[in-house]
Homo-oligomer: A and B are copies of this chain.
């Protein structure tokens, strides 16, 4: 998917919502546990119910890997279902990968070719050769961690570097601009750090920002939108738990759809 295609989808749907498919067997409705692949059944129902209100889906690979081969099968079926039935939705493998160059190429192959995701999240610690292999695929995106939404983000990301001229996360944003551009590179910037978004936009004015942390983690959609939006929207705001676990009764998908719709309606105001 290109930058302009993503922007057009956002305009058409009046939404920049990404639904996080962090599917956990201990949290999904009990009646699904009797099916052959409860994770996939849950995802399918959530996707069908929320698709009108969101522009992207983001399964976090940890929630699939923890079930071994079976979980990997559920993830595969989920991305296949999305690509077949919702080809205009942007797909994100939230995998936070990164390794030396030749090994990162294998991860790129895994997520862009073997599974055909539109994008994958990447950890920056290993530097240029760990990120670049994700930038050479037409229509595919690397989404680099910059300033994350969790408490631990203060440990390294907010450290002052080189005579206090900037924080590490700012250097990450700047350095990565030399590796890619707004058409193949996005950044993860947590909603819990809305006060930093003005600053982030000075360094990365055009790039899309993937923003987790709205909902269960406490970030404000209003603040993120006010300080983070650019002239092509430039935001994909993720919500996982607050939408997908809004109910764990038989009507869970309907309720999830209603929650997604609420968020979409708020987004329509900000757009």
Look across to chain B and name the residue whose beta carbon is closest to the beta carbon of A172. Answer: B156
> A73 within 8 Å of B by Cβ?
yes
Q: How far is the CA of A261 from the CA of B20 in the complex (A)?
A: 49
> A12 within 8 Å of B by Cβ?
no
Contact pick for A150, options B24, B130, B160, CB 8 Å: B130
Contact B127 A62 (CB under 8 A): no
Q: How far is the CA of A164 from the CA of B156 in the complex (A)?
A: 15
* Residues A69 and B72 in contact in the complex (CB < 8 Å), given A152-B130, A159-B168, A161-B161: yes
Contact B148 A171 (CB under 8 A): no
> A101 within 8 Å of B by Cβ?
yes
Taken residue by residue from 141 to 171, chain A's Cβ proximity to chain B (1 for < 8 Å, 0 otherwise) reads as 0000100111111111101111110001001
Copies of this chain, whole number: 2
Taken residue by residue from 17 to 43, chain A's Cβ proximity to chain B (1 for < 8 Å, 0 otherwise) reads as 000001010000000000000000000
Contact A171 B159 (CB under 8 A): yes
Q: How far is the CA of A96 from the CA of B96 in the complex (A)?
A: 9
Q: How far is the CA of A106 from the CA of B60 in the complex (A)?
A: 10
Contact B123 A98 (CB under 8 A): yes
Look across to chain B and name the residue whose beta carbon is closest to the beta carbon of A123. Answer: B123
Q: Which residues of B contact A149 (CB under 8 A)?
A: 100
Q: Which residues of B contact A153 (CB under 8 A)?
A: 126-127
> A104 within 8 Å of B by Cβ?
yes
> A231 within 8 Å of B by Cβ?
no
Look across to chain B and name the residue whose beta carbon is closest to the beta carbon of A107. Answer: B62
Contact A145 B164 (CB under 8 A): no
> A109 within 8 Å of B by Cβ?
yes
Contact pick for A62, options B66, B96, B106, B152, CB 8 Å: B106
Return 6 A-B CB contacts under 8 Å, by A number. A68-B110, A96-B98, A96-B126, A125-B157, A126-B145, A160-B161
Q: With contacts A101-B150, A127-B157 known, what are 10 further pairs, Cβ within 8 A?
A: A24-B106, A65-B106, A65-B110, A69-B73, A125-B125, A126-B157, A127-B151, A127-B155, A130-B152, A159-B161
Question: A: which residues have CB within 8 A of B?
Answer: 22, 24, 60, 62-63, 65-69, 71-73, 76, 94, 96-101, 103-104, 106-107, 109-110, 113-115, 123-131, 145, 148-157, 159-164, 168, 171-172, 175
